[in-house]
Structure 1
Amino acid sequence: MGKERDKGWLTKTGDKSLEESNHSVAIPENGHFFKKLFAFMGPGVLVAVGFIDPGNWETSISAGSSFGYTLLAVVLLSNLIAMLMQGLAAKLGIATGRDLAQATRDAFRPKAVVVLWLLTELAIIATDLAEVLGSAIALNLLFHIPIMIGIIITALDVLLLLLLQKKGFRWMEAIITVLMVTIAGCFLFEMIFSHPALSEALKGYIPSTEIVTNPSLLFLALGILGATVMPHNLYLHSSIVQTRNYHDTDKGKKEAVRFAYIDSTFSLGVAFFVNSAILILGAAAFHTIGEHVGGIEEAYKLLTPVMGAGAASFLFGFALLLSGQSSTITGTLTGQIVMEGFIRFRIKPWVRRLFTRIIAIIPALIFVGIYGPSSTGDLLVWSQVILSLQLSFAVIPLVLFTSSKKKMGSFANKLHVKILAWTATGLIVCLNAFMLGYMIVTGHAL
């Protein structure tokens, strides 16, 4: 990644991350714990929606229908790693006043920065591709709109972004929170009516040696990890925690870090419930009757006949649509943060949104045009592969920066956090190396 410059950041001055929203949300001076917590809550939910985007659905449904509850242990591990990394990202932003993109620009030489920026942009496009396909599939399932037309319709979501930006950052957080709660509610309903074997589901959270000895299980485990721990969320979180108007003192920052950890852990806990519910639904509704479901569309069509609940398929499709749209909003913010942070290039967010969406739409239209609507599942998997391969380039700098006393001062990672962070990073790097090797040898994705 290039030679790192020896530079401290605690006294760093210059451009602010998301300058129009930076320190814009008031924090009560002498409020009680829960009043302050409410003021700090919000960034976590913007991050959490990225963990339940349509890319996760394809992998988890397939995992549940094929292997029952076995891979719930991987869902748990992936979410624990995500909680750790998102906590570090939040701490980086609060302690240094730099988001991860800015911190990378400050620390590495220009050529390395450009390479890392291009890789991050590729990850954002891959994320957007999953949102495009997820929304288009949902429109097709709910309203029978052809996939090709649905892909084009997704470009209109830029109007939603414009409306939210005029309302302010807290409005955006509120809308995303409503969408997140609705998605969780839909899956709670689905879980109740699928009648899962609770004892078997709980056993699924205990790691099994079969996961590493069975190639098919291992491949799906890699897909779940790649779809859960997402690189763009690290850039996003390190920026949006700075929207809170905390005091720029050690005491003020420590309080902000504490509340940011509570916020992100709670929100990612909700995301963990949704991801678990998707896999449990696949296991309870399909695996128990020996039905392997290869994708989202097939799951939608089979849910009502299998579960006997008329609303099951509709709620599944509705939650998918909400998932794609909520991820769209946070994806736009991330694009703005990354472009401004890495290369100091600033454009209007709606222009940025339209540009990214068009880039995502083109390959989607070409792929679906050539291989047909049934190819959307494969394209979703490929988008997750790209995200997974890019993850190391975000995680390694993050752990390096937050472990540096010179850069973080008293906020630097303690020894036990360093051990956990580097162990998780090593796991991510090894799994991605395995995935890349598999792709080179076999010529196709997991």
Structure 2
Amino acid sequence: MNPDNSPATDRRGWRSSEGAASLPEVFRTIAVPTGGGSWRKFAAFAGPGFLVAVGYMDPGNWATDLAGGSAFGYTLLSVILLSNLMAIVLQALAARLGIATGRDLASACRDAYSKPVSVALWLLCEIAIVACDLAEVIGTAIGLNLLFGIPLVWGVCLTGLDVLLILMLQRHGFRRIEAFVMALITIIALCFLYELVASRPAIGDMLAGFVPQAQIVHDPAMLYIAIGIIGATVMPHNLYLHSATVQTRAFDQTSEGKRDAAKWATLDSTVALMLALFVNAAILILAAAAFHTIGRTDVAEIQDAYQLLTPTLGAALASTLFAVALLASGQNSTVTATLAGQIVMEGFIRLRLQPWLRRLITRGLAIVPTVIVAAIYGQSGTARLLILSQVILSMQLPFAVVPLVAFTSDRKKMGDLASPVWLRVLAWTIAAIIIVLNIKLLIDTIGM
């Protein structure tokens, strides 16, 4: 008997949760070599980190990076670096949670908190996923408009067809999904490598931009964009995604095997996020070199950047490759958002939907407001909607970060993989910074 009617918990403080495997159709389906060199081990674990990295270079990041570079030159590169380092720490914690407990972040919340709390967290996360999908819809539609001249309204409607792409990839296994994502990330990185070479940035000024400047805090306009960069970079649904996708690897379930898996998973996500750092920094550097240096400090919209790049840089492919990278970014984010949606719904409420149905629901919720805004206000309206989606993500972020840091700090729940004292201090400091900055962003946005 349980006299106080409290939920039963196991010896590690979790409520019993049978059938809680994350993404059960691919759970521990990818073999991990027991011998061989380091490269074989890394190759086996490489993939989940790149799925996560997609969220750090999605269309929602482009507006803040473009605005920061055109308005303030290279100064805000330090903010991109700081936000990326925060992301590396948080994603390492997400991987440790999945490996140590066999639970993704959604399942962990369900098994640790009361039902009302877990349902509230689920609803907040669903709102964040729709907001993220909103950014992907807008980014993909703008990319189609810039490359093929497809009107924004029709481009938004066409984004609903990507459910066919998701179904095709999932039918061929999880490794195919990872390969597709890695290929698109490579395309994005190569496009921006060309843009950087063509823009010929001032190397000294660029390197100085990675050093934090006191003026960022004192200049309200600069601080606003800096907060926006951080809010757009640390995506909440990616924490749920990473804690689940690391469990696709069939690593040894001993303490030593879990420690080894955590090491390689952290390396995977760190390498992938450094690539995301390159892309985000490249967007800001491109805006600084192409626009800020000639006095165009007002370029904040993706369409404006596209129109100005080729005549400004004198490189014929500059605008085209910019649009190709945008389209690749939107499609990449589509894949990871679908997976995150599945993980969140199954983890929080144990409800399984067919991938095509799940995708149509979330995409439909994003398409309807985008079509209305695009039809009434055109390009300027979609730009404002893009910024709104990032504010919504910022509002949800603390509700993912705080449980993650709390779980990974708990030795009872995490065992040998519990965060050491230095990592706990660092993680809680990052959580506090994110919460304060996002509250500031929200207050400033409401007051605008």
Matched, 1:358 2:364: yes
User: Which residue does the alignment assign to 1:142?
Assistant: 147
Matched, 1:14 2:22: no
In the TM superposition, 1:188-207 aligns within 5 A as: 188-207=193-212
User: Which residue does the alignment assign to 1:157?
Assistant: 162
Task: Note the C-alpha offset of 1:11.
Answer: 10
Separation (CA, whole Å) in 1 of partners of 2:70 and 2:205? 14
Match of 1:255 among 234, 253, 260: 260
Separation (CA, whole Å) in 1 of partners of 2:33 and 2:275? 26
Matched, 1:413 2:419: yes
Which structure 1 residue ranges, 5 or more long, are not aligned? none
Task: Note the C-alpha offset of 1:294.
Answer: 2.2
Match of 1:173 among 172, 178, 182: 178
Separation (CA, whole Å) in 1 of partners of 2:24 and 2:267? 25
Matched, 1:304 2:313: no
Task: Note the C-alpha offset of 1:226.
Answer: 0.9
Task: Note the C-alpha offset of 1:373.
Answer: 2.7
Per-residue CA deviation, residues 45-85 of structure 1 (Å, 9 max, x unaligned), is 00001100001011101110000000000000000000000
Question: Which shows bigger deviation, 360-369 or 62-71?
Answer: 360-369
Task: Note the C-alpha offset of 1:6.
Answer: 7.2
How many pairs were matched up?
440
Match of 1:241 among 223, 231, 246: 246
Matched, 1:370 2:379: no
Separation (CA, whole Å) in 2 of partners of 1:201 and 1:140? 32
Per-residue CA deviation, residues 265-300 of structure 1 (Å, 9 max, x unaligned), is 000000000000000000000000001212100000
Conserved? CA contact 2:63–2:302, under 8 Å = yes
| Aligned CA distance change for structure 1 residues 194 and 20 (closer, same or farther; 3 Å) | same
Task: Note the C-alpha offset of 1:9.
Answer: 5.8
Task: Note the C-alpha offset of 1:369.
Answer: 2.3
1:316 alignment partner, SS class: helix
Conserved? CA contact 1:403–1:413, under 8 Å = yes
In the TM superposition, 1:261-280 aligns within 5 A as: 261-280=266-285
Separation (CA, whole Å) in 1 of partners of 2:8 and 2:227? 33
| Aligned CA distance change for structure 1 residues 288 and 140 (closer, same or farther; 3 Å) | same
Separation (CA, whole Å) in 2 of partners of 1:112 and 1:309? 54
Task: Note the C-alpha offset of 1:438.
Answer: 2.3
Matched, 1:331 2:343: no
Q: Percent of counterpart pairs with the same letter?
A: 55
In the TM superposition, 1:39-438 aligns within 5 A as: 39-292=44-297, 293-438=299-444
Separation (CA, whole Å) in 2 of partners of 1:222 and 1:362? 28
Separation (CA, whole Å) in 2 of partners of 1:413 and 1:379? 38
Residue identity opposite 1:132 in structure 2: V
Separation (CA, whole Å) in 2 of partners of 1:335 and 1:167? 20
Task: Note the C-alpha offset of 1:432.
Answer: 1.6
What's the TM-score once normalised by structure 1's chain length?
0.97
Residue identity opposite 1:229 in structure 2: V
Separation (CA, whole Å) in 1 of partners of 2:405 and 2:148? 45
Residue identity opposite 1:20 in structure 2: E
Separation (CA, whole Å) in 2 of partners of 1:429 and 1:192? 37
Separation (CA, whole Å) in 2 of partners of 1:177 and 1:96? 27
| Aligned CA distance change for structure 1 residues 432 and 11 (closer, same or farther; 3 Å) | closer
What's the TM-score once normalised by structure 2's chain length?
0.96
Which structure 2 residue ranges, 5 or more long, are not aligned? 1-5
2:250 alignment partner, SS class: coil
Per-residue CA deviation, residues 218-253 of structure 1 (Å, 9 max, x unaligned), is 000011001100000000000000000001111111
Separation (CA, whole Å) in 1 of partners of 2:420 and 2:32? 28
Conserved? CA contact 1:5–1:109, under 8 Å = no
Separation (CA, whole Å) in 2 of partners of 1:220 and 1:356? 28
Separation (CA, whole Å) in 1 of partners of 2:136 and 2:443? 27
Separation (CA, whole Å) in 2 of partners of 1:33 and 1:438? 48
